[in-house]
């Protein structure tokens, strides 16, 4: 099950940038709802605009953490998020999908501006300082570790959990979709939450 949820893991150096907690501990916290999930963040979108969680009150949020150099899991899940938005039709305007990078050194505002439109026009890419990204990841109980793959500074990947978090119109956590969830299943879970409250 761990392989399904987190993809292939590479042993990470102890001092690598990333979570202070283990993958198993954080997976347990999310899967069994053992800890609060979600909360405040302050990051920049792909236009350079500062965004906080409060900006999206009145909308459901789909929140996904990953990185643009991710070879397979991230683009696959982002594609399904984009397809879910399309399948929602007019209701998509009530949902804000967010892609939060776990690799802010490479995933700059400019880089995200080229990447996120590939998946859906409403998708916002969020980046920031290492500290700001770490605070957001900690709030959502995201596991991630930077892992060296070579001798050059840019020779690294980022091992990470890949849950898609569903947040309600008041910023409260509703649940998660595991990696590999298809668009139709997401839509089926989102729709019951769409008309329970008037948009602000």
Q: How far apart are CA 99 and CA 142, in angstroms?
A: 13
What is the per-residue DSSP string for the chain? -HHHHH----PPPTTSSB-SS-HHHHHHHHHTT-S------EEE-TTS-EEEGGGGTTSEEEEEEE-TT-SSHHHHHHHHHHHHHHHHGGGGGGEEEEEEES-TTTS-HHHHHHHGGGT-TT-EEEB--HHHHHHHHHHTT--EEEEE-SSSTT-EEEEE---EEEE-TTS-EEEEE-TT--HHHHHHHHGGGTSSS---
Q: What is the pLDDT of residue 60?
A: 98
Please say whether the beta carbons of 37 and 141 come within 8 A.
yes
- Residues 187-194: contacts with CB within 8 Å, 24+ apart? 187/84, 187/87, 187/88, 190/60, 190/62, 190/84, 190/88, 190/95, 190/166, 191/88, 191/91, 193/60, 193/166, 193/168, 194/60, 194/88, 194/91, 194/94, 194/95
Q: What is the pLDDT of residue 29?
A: 83
pLDDT (mean) for 108-126: 98
- Per-residue pLDDT tens over the stretch 47-57: 999 999 999 99
Q: Has this prediction a pTM greater than 0.75?
A: yes
* Residue 79 CB coordination number (10 Å): 14
Mean pLDDT lowest for which of 22-36, 63-77, 179-193?
Answer: 22-36
pLDDT (mean) for 141-154: 93
- Per-residue pLDDT tens over the stretch 149-195: 999 989 999 999 999 999 999 999 999 999 999 999 999 999 999 97
Q: How far apart are CA 168 and CA 162, in angstroms?
A: 19
């Amino acid at each position: 099950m761990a392989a399904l949820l987190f993809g292939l893991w590479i042993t990470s150096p102890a001092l690598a940038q990333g979570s202070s907690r283990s993958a198993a501990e954080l997976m347990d916290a999310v899967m069994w709802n053992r800890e609060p999930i979600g909360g405040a963040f302050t990051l920049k979108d792909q236009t350079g605009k500062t965004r906080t969680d409060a900006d999206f009150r009145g909308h459901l949020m789909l929140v996904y953490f990953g990185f643009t150099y991710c070879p397979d899991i991230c683009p696959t899940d982002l594609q399904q998020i984009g397809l879910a938005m399309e399948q929602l039709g007019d209701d998509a305007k009530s949902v804000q999908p967010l892609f939060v990078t776990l690799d802010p050194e490479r995933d700059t505002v400019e880089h995200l501006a080229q990447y996120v439109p590939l998946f859906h026009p409403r998708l916002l890419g969020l980046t920031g300082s290492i500290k700001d990204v770490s605070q957001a990841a900690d709030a959502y109980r995201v596991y991630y570790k930077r892992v060296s793959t070579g001798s050059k500074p840019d020779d690294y990947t980022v091992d990470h959990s890949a849950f898609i978090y569903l947040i309600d119109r008041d910023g409260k956590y509703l649940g998660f979709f595991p990696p590999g969830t298809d668009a139709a299943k997401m839509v089926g879970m989102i729709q019951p939450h769409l008309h329970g409250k008037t948009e602000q």
